[in-house]
Structure 1
Amino acid sequence: MAQKPSIPKGTRDFSPSEIAKRNYIFSTIKQVFETYGFQPIETPSFENSDTLMGKYGEEGDRLIFKILNSGDYLSKVDETLLNSKDSLKITPSISEKALRYDLTVPFARYVVQHQNEIEFPFKRYQMQPVWRADRPQKGRFREFFQCDADVVGSKGLWQEVEFVQLYDAVFSKLKLTGTTIKLNNRKILAGIAEIIGEADKLIDFTVALDKLDKIGAEGVTNEMLSKGISEAAIEKVQPLFSFNGTNQEKLNQLQGLLANSEEGTKGVNDLRFVINAIEKIGLMSANLDIDVTLARGLNYYTGAIYEVSAPKGVSMGSIGGGGRYDDLTGIFGLKDVSGVGISFGLDRIYLVLEELNLFNEVALPRPTVLFINFGEAEASYCMKALSELRKLNIKSELYPEAAKMKKQMNYANKREIPFVVLVGSSEIENNKFTLKNMQSGDQQECSLKELLKITAKL
């Protein structure tokens, strides 16, 4: 007995109705991206390993899917190295490529490689799948889509303001009200690490702090201790574990806390600029909140950090995030090109919209007209009309075989096709068509011109 086929854990098949809903999200995000002046690009699904490795921190690097070299990939490996059974040392010898982990690092590579063709500041959007060797769970997949928008070549803070507006615009169009856009600044985190005397452990500090909402204050404390951060330093950051108040009150608290840190103060001033601008402009439906524990765990962020959470009551992790990276292109040889970008987690957004029943208006693509197939002569006559309908972009199809009438009509009903066309010998003889309205049951004989006119109204 043949084994039942399956797909890898963390991946999914998508039905026609699911694709229609996903395309609704894609088209909404794309429309807003282009309204804000972004241009589309695409990059390969896999990159050279050295392009990706070392850009996401130790945890991120472990989640990158490596691709084995083609052919007898073990034959070129040094025997001593092979016998060591040290996978970290062996991997570079047997794998030179990897599936992309996100779209930001490949975009930085793209900018450096195509710098002479790009007009700076360069605003690009990209909507493609990425892969992570993560443990699958609700809202967390091994293959998923990201929808990114980035600007490189400008240090201006107005773009950071616009990204807050862009998030708000997309979620408002999706009728997803009550989302919270969280903001922080990497310079603030660096300033905090500096004043508690742990500047050399910034990465360990931020990775642990970013987990506060997942493992709680005790869990964060234990992780910091395990990374060598002193108890005295942890005691100094305890107030951050319950940091509250309005955004302006938080800014004032941070201003005082970081008064002796030049970098931290710069971060507070940058964040204040964005908060003040948004408060003047206003948002349509999203909430804006300063979250000093927000780090997102990615080494390449140097300034603003964004994260979007779903409305209260919805059990889901972040549905968007991003930040500023002042030196990401520098690792590929292009210095002094600042960038800032955000990402939408399409798959999580889909789950949230589904949970909140916000897909009611998304219709599955279907024909407006189905031509019933009574035989070769009738089908040939129908094909001429089909060509004219399609020239007018009227969705139409011919049932592919001369099956029983009941079977063809059931097909039309199940796909909710509004009109059915019946053509027999008398219609061919009189150069006519019999058009049936599947909702009312009314039938009428009409010419091709009349047929086009009636169906074009839908």
Structure 2
Amino acid sequence: MSKPSLPAGTRDFSADVVRKRHYIFNTIKQVFEVYGFQPLETPAMENLSTLMGKYGEEGDKLIFKVLNNGLSDPKNIEKARSSFEQVLQGRNDPNFTERALRYDLTIPFARYVAMNFGQLTLPFKRYQVQPVWRADRPQKGRYREFYQCDADVVGSRSLLNEVELTAIYRTVFQRLGIPVEIRINSRKILAALAERCGGAEKITDITIAIDKLDKIGLEKVKEELVSRGLSPDQLMTIEKYLSITGSNVEKISAVRDLLGDIPLASQGIHELEYLLSYPTNPGKTAADILCDFTLARGLNYYTGIIFEIKAIGVQMGSIGGGGRYDDLTGLFGVPNVPGVGISFGVDRIYDVMEELDLFPAAVQSGTKVLFFNLGDAESRVAYALLQQLREAGIAAEIYHEQAKFDKQFKYAEKKNIPFIVILGSEELISNTCKVKNLQSGEQQVIAQQELRDYTFSI
């Protein structure tokens, strides 16, 4: 019998890990709620037609397709063979697969808005925390199954939404204790760069290549652009664009000199300056907002300001990102609905917090009190007291069977239970119990009726 294993790029989560992940989820959700966003959930599967063509050439390759039911039926074998040949040639065949696991939360959200547009109060602000799947090569910080936490606003073109989403990023990472840079750019500026380099149709080629700059370097990006048909003069323009450095003011000035005569670039620059002009929360350490004109985010649906979050002091890819997409629902027959959204990469955030040792100690606590089991009569009284603590919201349990003290102590230690309660025959007679703090070694004898009000704090 083969040894059990997991599919590559997926993970089991132990109790300690789940608690830490929930700490991140809850922190993000609390901030979303404070900013007026409401929760939404969508199915794990979408129709393949909903997803394909929305993520660019590279993204479409990473969509997990789901086989149709009934392909093992002998009547369908020939049909399945023919369909499989179509798939091997890079063409999708509805006889073989019509559904896929969701690649992100944005496109399913756009589909939901399109289906329910008449019932929504605009602007509609939603957040969503669910897993997504990508057929990517597993590596550090990159998984095939992972969670996203998204917040989106549809039905408003106001740049105040970008200001709010930037503030959400700041607030979440302040609460988690992660030092970050919030990097911003504009797809309008990238579209102007494409226009300067031969036409708007080149934006996909350019952004896909630029999006790989951190991974493969400038020379490899230039090689890829050459393979996509760009001329030496066009390459020179792109290299000049990618070489822009300095402060935000200096970078914007350089872009204005290079592309400012193109209306799209002028609009994009104005929007970035608007976002940068808003004050941060007084008295708080603000995350740096940096104009990064190498930022491309190679998803076709972005149309305005784009975001990417980088953790400072950790070798890790982006831990968040997003941007404006002013006609995403038009893909589903509901045109001219503006939108903007951001996403948190929870799995990478978890890895960063582990590396920087940022999780509070209290996050890992589960059971707070263990009642020793010292016999039938003793355990019955202990169980009544145990239920009182649970009703008071204190996590507690009783050892499952009568056993030696040493065995029950070891159980408490292995589970990091900080307090034990002992009721023996003497305590039954005196209506008392012993409470011991396993970390300090301090032990107290208290009346049983006072246990519910006892302060179980480390």
TM-score by length of 1: 0.93
Alignment of 1:250 with 2:251, yes or no, is yes
Change (3 A) 1:35 1:54: same
SS at match of 1:23: helix
Q: Which residue of 2 is the match for residue 372 of structure 1?
A: 372
* Residues 368, 455 of structure 1: 8 Å contact kept: no
User: Structure 1: which 5+ runs fail to align?
Assistant: none
Q: Which residue of 2 is the match for residue 449 of structure 1?
A: 449
SS at match of 2:278: helix
Q: Which moved more, 1:194-203 or 1:441-450?
A: 441-450
Matches within 5 A, 1:11-410: 11-72=10-71, 74-75=76-77, 77=79, 86-89=88-91, 91-177=93-179, 179-278=180-279, 284-311=285-312, 313-410=313-410
1:343 is displaced (CA, Å) by 0.6
Describe the superposition over 1:68-103 as per-residue Cα deviations: whole angstroms up to 9, x where unpaired: 112226547276555567353354321111111111
1:395 is displaced (CA, Å) by 1.4
Change (3 A) 1:399 1:234: same
Structure 1 Cα separation of the partners of residues 34 and 82 of structure 2:
58
Describe the superposition over 1:137-194 as per-residue Cα deviations: whole angstroms up to 9, x where unpaired: 11111111111111111000011112122111111111112x1111111111111111
* Residues 319, 349 of structure 1: 8 Å contact kept: yes
Structure 1 Cα separation of the partners of residues 126 and 87 of structure 2:
43
SS at match of 1:93: coil
Change (3 A) 1:90 1:200: closer
Aligned residues: 455
* Residues 198, 229 of structure 1: 8 Å contact kept: no
Q: Which residue of 2 is the match for residue 411 of structure 1?
A: 411
1:415 is displaced (CA, Å) by 2.6
* Residues 419, 456 of structure 2: 8 Å contact kept: no
Structure 2 Cα separation of the partners of residues 130 and 78 of structure 1:
27
Structure 2 Cα separation of the partners of residues 79 and 224 of structure 1:
38
Describe the superposition over 1:303-333 as per-residue Cα deviations: whole angstroms up to 9, x where unpaired: 111011110x411111110000011111112
Change (3 A) 1:6 1:119: same
SS at match of 1:123: strand
Change (3 A) 1:77 1:89: farther
1:110 is displaced (CA, Å) by 1.3
Change (3 A) 1:114 1:393: same
Q: Which residue type is aligned with residue 223 of structure 1?
A: E
* Residues 369, 417 of structure 1: 8 Å contact kept: yes
Structure 1 Cα separation of the partners of residues 430 and 283 of structure 2:
64
User: Structure 2: which 5+ runs fail to align?
Assistant: none
Structure 2 Cα separation of the partners of residues 321 and 85 of structure 1:
32
Structure 2 Cα separation of the partners of residues 279 and 405 of structure 1:
57
1:271 is displaced (CA, Å) by 1.4
1:426 is displaced (CA, Å) by 3.8
* Residues 24, 362 of structure 1: 8 Å contact kept: no
1:48 is displaced (CA, Å) by 1.1
Percent of residue pairs bearing the same amino acid type: 51
Change (3 A) 1:283 1:299: farther
Q: Which residue type is aligned with residue 47 of structure 1?
A: E
Structure 2 Cα separation of the partners of residues 283 and 201 of structure 1:
42
Q: Which residue type is aligned with residue 209 of structure 1?
A: I
* Residues 372, 421 of structure 1: 8 Å contact kept: yes
1:35 is displaced (CA, Å) by 1.6
Describe the superposition over 1:15-54 as per-residue Cα deviations: whole angstroms up to 9, x where unpaired: 2221222122112111211121111111111111111111
Q: Which residue type is aligned with residue 48 of structure 2?
A: S
1:375 is displaced (CA, Å) by 2.9
Describe the superposition over 1:45-68 as per-residue Cα deviations: whole angstroms up to 9, x where unpaired: 111111111110111011011111
Change (3 A) 1:224 1:297: same
Q: Which moved more, 1:443-452 or 1:220-229?
A: 443-452
1:284 is displaced (CA, Å) by 2.4
Structure 1 Cα separation of the partners of residues 301 and 438 of structure 2:
58
Structure 1 Cα separation of the partners of residues 308 and 427 of structure 2:
62
TM-score by length of 2: 0.93
1:445 is displaced (CA, Å) by 3.8
Q: Which moved more, 1:351-360 or 1:159-168?
A: 351-360
Structure 2 Cα separation of the partners of residues 85 and 157 of structure 1:
43
* Residues 212, 241 of structure 1: 8 Å contact kept: no
Change (3 A) 1:227 1:26: same
